[in-house]
Amino acid sequence: MPTRISPYLSFNGDAREAMTFYQSVFGGDLEIATFADMRSAQDSSQDDLVAHSMLKGATGTVLFAADTTTPPDGAPAGAFSVALGGDDEAEVTGYWEGLSAGGTVTTPLARSPWGALFGRCVDKYGIAWLVNVTPAGPA
């Protein structure tokens, strides 16, 4: 199995809603385990919160998330973006449309100086996305 780097997103109580949204954008299989499922709740108010979730796409992409009330150790809030790219313009543009719906477009998806379509948005859950459509090379 190849080594991969996958984003692990932290939410404050809406991880289930966010991951269901990402599943509607990307498709794939979503697995969710609550604190009650894992028997790791500090108290009963946390039972329905997401302790761990994984969205696995058909192409092998993986996105993880959980509910937490504090950012991960040493991670300043908002100090990251999720990069999404590919060479299938229709596919990646569809992802762009889904992610930016209800969010904020900070750089419209447009042709960049390096030849790719590129755009930035912040989705309705506050996650920043960098979207890049690189033209496919010659066959």
If phi over 0 gives left and psi between -120 and 50 gives alpha, with beta otherwise, what is residue 16? Answer: alpha
What pTM, to 2 d.p., does this model score? 0.77
Alpha helices in the chain (DSSP H): 15-26, 89-100
* CA dist., res. 114 & res. 97, Å (int): 22
Enumerate the domain spans of the chain.
Answer: 8-67, 82-133
The second-level CATH assignment, the architecture, of 82-133 is 2-Layer Sandwich (3.30)
Low-confidence winner among 17-21, 70-74, 119-123 (lowest mean pLDDT): 70-74
* CA dist., res. 71 & res. 10, Å (int): 7
* CA dist., res. 69 & res. 53, Å (int): 16
pLDDT in tens, 55-94: 998 877 789 999 985 555 555 555 678 989 899 999 999 9
pLDDT above 80 for 48: yes
Superfamily for the 8-67 domain: 2,3-Dihydroxybiphenyl 1,2-Dioxygenase, domain 1 (3.10.180.10)
